[in-house]
Chains A and B, each alone.
Chain A
Amino acid sequence: MRSPLELVVARPGPAFTVTFDDREITVLPGQTIAAALWAAGITSWRTTRGSGEPRGVFCGIGVCFDCLVTVNGRANQRACLVRAEAGDVIRTQEGTGHRGQRQQHG
């Protein structure tokens, strides 16, 4: 099947890995966290603080804040804006993400 990378004849730099909820995923350099998660087939990385509903990318351009995620212990990062870096520890953000942060910081 044709892919976007084939369509634009991409020759990306060396891939690297990050973890998402302790699962290792491969990322191409330059991709945002949202793009990396989509490429890995993951579309949900947040649960709402009210009813715990799953959410992921919605607007894709930094306006809607639906794609918030916890990156290296920092909650509320917009996955569609933040570039993935080698070794990033990405976690599903539950609610406001503060509970996760407290756990991470002791």
Chain B
Amino acid sequence: MQLTKTTDLKGLLTTATCALLTTNQVSATETAVDEWQFDTAIMYYGESDRVTAVEGIVAGQKTFADEQVLNLKVTVDALTGASANGAVAQPDVQTFTRPSGNGQYQVKAKQTPLDDTFHDTRLQLTGSWSQPLYHDYTWTVGGNLSKEYDYLSVSVNSNLARDFNKKNTTVSAGFSYAFDQIEPEGGLPKALSEMTVEQFGSTEFDALFEQTRIGSSDDKNTLDLLLGLTQVINRNTIVQLNYSYSDVSGYLTDPFKVVSVVNQQGYSQRAIYEHRPDSRTKHAVFAQLKTHFSNTVLDASYRYMTDDWQIDSHTLDLRYHMALNNGHYIEPHIRYYTQTAAEFYTPFIIEGQSINQDISADYRIGEMDAYTFGIKYGMPMNSGDSLAFRLEYYRQSPKSDGTAAVGVLNDVELYETIDAVIAQVSYSF
């Protein structure tokens, strides 16, 4: 061996060793091949006086010898409770007809009108198959089927990822195509037509109600395109950047929502069914940073979304994972969300004003802020399983888009804050 003093053997060897020991994350802790890994969770979501949801999830993952990964997930949701119908609160009792036309409900004075017959059970099946391909490529293909009493959603998706730079950089591109069909009980309402309220139970009512219907079902198509970049910065830090484009076309109106038409004094004259544009284009960027300190992990993300309905939203999400010395961990979570209103959003219409073709008073597309504060506590179980509890408080604060209240509307709450509690227990084995 012609090794001279100038050959820095130790230095060269250090470089080679670094490459071996840092790029190779294979270890005994890795999930054994050919075994199913299951995650189960049960979640409770409760809004004060409004919707309550209970959700059960069973997700299984199996990794095969050639690094193929199969994911299957079943979700069952049961929703009950009341949901805002879009009308404004009034100084007097109001009467509304249920979307089915088979009943009516009354709303007390000064209360936000809620349709209290909101209940549904949803079954969702999700599956995906991930397959390494020649030379650092990974291909994933998946599907989703979701069925509710009056709603069906079917989608397919595919993603191709390529690793570069010894797997320190991953670039991916994917798409998803979804078909959704809605078939509400009582049919679809005619846009901007007046909700039939008077003479409920009579044949006149039935005839009038029938005139507000335009069909039994409609559908929409959604195409999503996604570009992603994941970069390992160093042994402790990983950054992810995503851009997504979404194009939705078809029936985007909510058939259960109305808009109040009020007179100059703010008194409701009637409620008309809302209507939304038949297409929506969204652009979103997402950035996430995960960094590992000695025994904590910081996970911070930011998302910006803008669409041609003129809704712009910002989401900031922070999680801080802290390991305790007994193997347990605590993870506080804070999320802040803010959005601007859709251009066709209005809390109500004043009689005599010209009415645009597109109009909605749904607070969910109005201006709003939302906060989440939560904490998760997890612990390993003897057998290698893990158990975790999550408790979160969520506050949604709709805000005025600048529309000035008139007359009696000054005395009622037009933008009611919603508080919710989320509790979850999850078990992985």
Pair from one complex = no
Interface residues of B (CB under 8 A from A): none
Interface residues of A (CB under 8 A from B): none
